[in-house]
């Protein structure tokens, strides 16, 4: 079980099983937050704990996701899809930067161009440890 907590410890997440590759995105939100994302579905392999505040983009006619952050210290915990999939599941991604560095350092990074093309970019061999500094 991989766990992440905000700076003050009031809120966090747990991700069961293999987190897979981690996504670094350059969209207008992710580049500002600096999050690195591990994906699954709400209340399946991802479970949240503690109080959060929510931000939904105001510039979209119909927002597609919301960002959850600690109501006390402001750390970004996850994003949560607003639309249910056809199978009734809700997509989520947790910010693995909130996990202990030793637990995630060797996870491979996938780069996603969320700013221009909305496509995956070629892998460059980097892992989470390479993006800490």
**Sequential pLDDT tens for the chain (133 residues):** 999 999 999 999 999 999 999 999 999 899 999 999 999 999 999 999 999 999 997 766 777 889 999 999 999 999 999 999 999 999 999 999 999 999 999 999 999 998 999 899 999 999 999 988 6
Contacts 24+ apart (CB under 8 A), 86-91: 89/41, 89/42, 89/44, 90/41, 90/42, 91/39, 91/41, 91/42
User: Listing from the earlier edge strand, what are the strands of the sheet with 12-15?
Assistant: 2-5, 12-15, 46-49
What CATH number is attached to the domain comprising 19?
Answer: 2.170.150.70
The total number of structural domains that make up the chain: 1
Q: Which domain holds residue 10?
A: 2-131
């Amino acid at each position: 079980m991989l766990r992440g907590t905000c700076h003050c410890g009031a809120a966090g997440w747990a991700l069961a099983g293999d987190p897979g590759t981690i996504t670094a995105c350059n969209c207008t939100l992710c580049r500002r937050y600096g999050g690195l994302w591990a994906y699954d579905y709400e209340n399946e392999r991802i479970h949240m704990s503690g109080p959060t505040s929510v931000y939904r983009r105001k510039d979209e006619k119909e927002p597609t996701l919301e960002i959850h952050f600690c109501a006390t210290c402001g750390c970004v915990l996850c994003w949560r899809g607003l639309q249910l999939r056809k199978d009734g599941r809700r997509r989520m991604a947790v910010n693995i930067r909130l996990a202990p560095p030793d637990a995630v350092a060797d996870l491979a990074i996938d780069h996603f161009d969320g700013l221009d093309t909305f496509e995956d970019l070629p892998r460059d061999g980097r892992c989470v440890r390479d993006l800490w500094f």
